[in-house]
C-alpha cells in the first residue's frame, strides 16, 4: 500500500524530466519501467539542477570514513515545507543545538527555517550540561522561546535548565534525527511544560520527507504533498514531483522500512518508521532486529535511553556471538530491565532459555554519541575477543 498524493502518472512524468539527451522519453510508458534511482543517479540530477539554480553541499559520515556529499537546493526546500509545517513565527528566537561545521546539514537547515519564518536564530550547537548555567543569562537575555535539536540533546539541555533554575519560556521544540521516546518527552516537558513538539523525518540525501506536529503521535509522520512512498522490506522508495524540493527523487530507495499508520490528529498520509534495513542480525540461529530490541527497551518503565552493543566473531564480522543492552536510568536495576526486555522481545525469550549468557544488560552513566552529530548511536559493533562486562545483569 503506497502512501502519498503523487500518482503513478505524475511520477512517470517526473522521471521523463530527468532523462538525459541519449534517452527517449517514450521508453518510459509504465510505472513498472521506472528503475529505482541510486544515490549516484540522484546526485547527477541534483548537480544538473545546481548548474542552473545553484546548490548547497551538505555531508553525512566522515567520522570513520570519507564524508558522503549531497547537493541540495540553496533554500533547502524550506519554502515548499512552510505551508504544511511552520513551527516558528515572527519574533520567535530559536536556539539551534544541532552541531555546526564540516557541512553538517541540520545546522544549515534550521538556520534557514528560522530565517524564512522571520525568526531570530542563535546557532550555538550542542551545549554540555556544565555550560548551561554559564550561558543562561545570555539565552534569557536573547528571549529564547524555541529550541531545535536531536531529542537526546534537547532532553539533556532541559535537565540542565531544570537543575540550574534557568527560566526560559520555551513554547516550541523542534526535533529530528532520532526517536522522541516517552522518557525524553517527559524530561523536556518537565522543564518546558508549555512547549509543543514539532518533529520531522528525512535523510541526508533528501532532507524533510514527512512532518510531525503537536497533537500527533511522536512516532508518526505525515508525508508532505506531491510525494509517494512505496513501503518495501528492502527500504521504502521515495518519489517527488514538481518544483521546490531540496533534492529530486524518483523511486529513490531510503535506508528505512516504513509502514502506513493513522494519527490522532486525523491528518492523512501518515506513516511510521519501522527500522533500518540493515539492522537485522542472527544470534545463535535466532534472527533479530536491533530496532525492535531498542524500541521495546525504551518502553520499559525507568529506562530513559538505550544502546545496543553487538559482539562479532573477528573471523566473520557478520556472525554475532552475543549482545548487550546499555541503558541510562537512576534507579532501575539491570536484572529487572533484562527480565522485562526478554519478556517483551520475540527471539530474546528463546535465547534466554537456551543460551542465556548471550544476552546481557548493563546500566551506564552515559551512552556513546556521535562526535559529529551528538546523536546517540543506536548500535555499536564490538570484537567478540573483547567480551562484554556483564556487571549486574542477573
Q: Where in the chain is the domain with CATH 3.40.50.12780?
A: 3-276
Question: Per residue of the chain (394 residues), what is the pLDDT tens digit?
Answer: 899 999 989 999 999 888 865 565 666 778 877 899 999 999 999 999 999 999 999 987 654 456 778 899 999 999 999 999 999 999 999 999 998 877 888 999 999 999 999 999 999 988 888 889 899 889 999 999 999 999 988 998 999 999 988 889 999 999 998 889 888 899 999 999 999 999 999 988 999 999 999 999 999 999 999 999 999 989 999 999 999 999 999 999 998 999 999 999 989 999 999 888 888 888 888 889 998 999 999 989 888 899 999 998 777 666 788 999 999 976 678 999 999 999 999 999 999 998 999 999 999 999 998 877 778 889 998 887 776 765 444 3
Q: Where in the chain is the domain with CATH 3.30.300.30?
A: 280-383
327-366 CB burial, b ≥16 within 10 A, e <16: bbbeebebeebbbbbbebbebbeebbeeeeebbbbbbeee
Residue 54: Cβ within 10 Å count: 11
The domain 3-276 having CATH identifier 3.40.50.12780: the answer here is yes
Cell (9 digits) for 133: 548555567
Q: Is 379 helix (H, G, I), strand (E, B) or coil?
A: strand
Q: Which residues sit opposite 121 in a β-bridge?
A: 94
The domain 280-383 having CATH identifier 3.30.300.30: the answer here is yes
CB-neighbour burial class of residue 29 (10 A; exposed 0-12, middle 13-18, buried 19+) = exposed
Cell (9 digits) for 131: 555550560
Amino acid at each position: 500500500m503506497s502512501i502519498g498524493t503523487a500518482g503513478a502518472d505524475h511520477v512517470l512524468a517526473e522521471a521523463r524530466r530527468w532523462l538525459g539527451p541519449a534517452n527517449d522519453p517514450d521508453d518510459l510508458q509504465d510505472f513498472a519501467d521506472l528503475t529505482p534511482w541510486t544515490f549516484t543517479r540522484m546526485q547527477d540530477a541534483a548537480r544538473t539542477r545546481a548548474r542552473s539554480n545553484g546548490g548547497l553541499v551538505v555531508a553525512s559520515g566522515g567520522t570513520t570514513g570519507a564524508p558522503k556529499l549531497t547537493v541540495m537546493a540553496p533554500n533547502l526546500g524550506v519554502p515548499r515545507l512552510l505551508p504544511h509545517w511552520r513551527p516558528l513565527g515572527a519574533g520567535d528566537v530559536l536556539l539551534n543545538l544541532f552541531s555546526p561545521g564540516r557541512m553538517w546539514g541540520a545546522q544549515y537547515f534550521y538556520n534557514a527555517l528560522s530565517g524564512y519564518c522571520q525568526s531570530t536564530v542563535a546557532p550555538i550547537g550542542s551545549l554540555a550540561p556544565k555550560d548551561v548555567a554559564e550561558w543562561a543569562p545570555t539565552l534569557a537575555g536573547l528571549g529564547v522561546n524555541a529550541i531545535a535539536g536531536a531529542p537526546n540533546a534537547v532532553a539533556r539541555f532541559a535537565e540542565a535548565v531544570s537543575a540550574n533554575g534557568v527560566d526560559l519560556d520555551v513554547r516550541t521544540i523542534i526535533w529530528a534525527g532520532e526517536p522522541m521516546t516517552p522518557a525524553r518527552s517527559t524530561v523536556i516537558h518537565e522543564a518546558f511544560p508549555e512547549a509543543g513538539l514539532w518533529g520531522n523525518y528525512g535523510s541526508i540525501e533528501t532532507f524533510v520527507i514527512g512532518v510531525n506536529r503537536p497533537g500527533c503521535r511522536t512516532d508518526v509522520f505525515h508525508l508532505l504533498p506531491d510525494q509517494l512512498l512505496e513501503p518495501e522490506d528492502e527500504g521504502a522508495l521515495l518519489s517527488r514531483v514538481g518544483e521546490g524540493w531540496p533534492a529530486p527523487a524518483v523511486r529513490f530507495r531510503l535506508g528505512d522500512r516504513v509502514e502506513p499508520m493513522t494519527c490522532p490528529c486525523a491528518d492523512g498520509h501518515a506513516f511510521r518508521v519501522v527500522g533500518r534495513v540493515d539492522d537485522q542480525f542472527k544470534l545463535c540461529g535466532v534472527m533479530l532486529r536491533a530496532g525492535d530490541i531498542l524500541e521495546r527497551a525504551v518502553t520499559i518503565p525507568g529506562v530513559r535511553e538505550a544502546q545496543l552493543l553487538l559482539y562479532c566473531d573477528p573471523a566473520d564480522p557478520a556472525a554475532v556471538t552475543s549482545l548487550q543492552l546499555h541503558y541510562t536510568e537512576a534507579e532501575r536495576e539491570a536484572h529487572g530491565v533484562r527480565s522485562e526486555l526478554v519478556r517483551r522481545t520475540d527471539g530474546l525469550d528463546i535465547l534466554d532459555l537456551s543460551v542465556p549468557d548471550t544476552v546481557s544488560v548493563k546500566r551506564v552513566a552515559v551512552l556513546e554519541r556521535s562526535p559529529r552529530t551528538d546523536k546517540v548511536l543506536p548500535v555499536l559493533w564490538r570484537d567478540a575477543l573483547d567480551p562484554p562486562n556483564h556487571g549486574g545483569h542477573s
